[in-house]
Amino acid sequence: MRTSPHRSIPDGRRAALITAAIREFAAAGYLAASTNHIVEAAHVSKGLLFHYFGDKKGLYVEAVQTCITEVMRRFDERLGPTSPDLFERLRQYTLAKWSLIEEDPTTFAFLQEAMTNPPAELHDALLVSTAEITASTYQRLFQGIDTSAFRPGVTVEQAMRLLSWTFDGLGKQYTTFLRRQPLDLASVQNVIFSEVDTYVALLRHGIETDPS
């Protein structure tokens, strides 16, 4: 994974810049984001931003990498042991993810935009910088799945792709909603978690009655 020349330097000013950048990029988008706003929020000079990250592009890529690393660390802590059942595994992943989103919708909104609709000039850089973590995530998601109940010819990858599309779409819907109207965790559990269970049941049992 590509890193900046100063990534390993422990400096609270660098962390403050990344935190401010995440909020600015999440609120304004990459193109409209202001580096002046970022340095003002971080209480540092603009020269320090360029010292650490080179330019706005470098800052954006570093912010994405930092977000992914921190989110994965928190996700692993939250998830715990996973089920070998495909649907239950994805349910566990989805509920763990959403409990984190409820706590910090701004970070997830930023990551969602960066991963699904990146600025054209950053597309290749983001692919390189996130390839390792993306591959690792999917490998862990697939590992140890019980395929004994699958129809012949259905692979774990195909099933996971279908389920991921479903819950990614649901995730985008609720990320937007949470940014507009923050909810407490109990409300999230009542609304979102219930809907996750509904979709898991639909995917497991189908939407049509048995024609026989």
Q: Map out the domains of the chain as residue ranges.
A: 12-205
- The CB density around residue 197, as the number of other CB atoms within 10 Å, is 13
pLDDT digit string, tens, across residues 174-207? 666 655 665 555 565 566 667 777 777 777 777 6
**63 in Cβ contact with 110 (< 8 Å):** yes
Please tell me the pTM assigned to this model: 0.66
103-139 as b/e: b if 16+ CB within 10 A:
ebbbbbbbbbbbeeebbeebeebbeebbeebeeeeee
pLDDT mean across residues, the chain: 78
pLDDT digit string, tens, across residues 131-145? 766 666 667 777 788
Query: The CATH number of 12-205 is which of 3.40.50.300, 1.10.357.10, 3.30.565.10, 1.25.40.10?
Result: 1.10.357.10
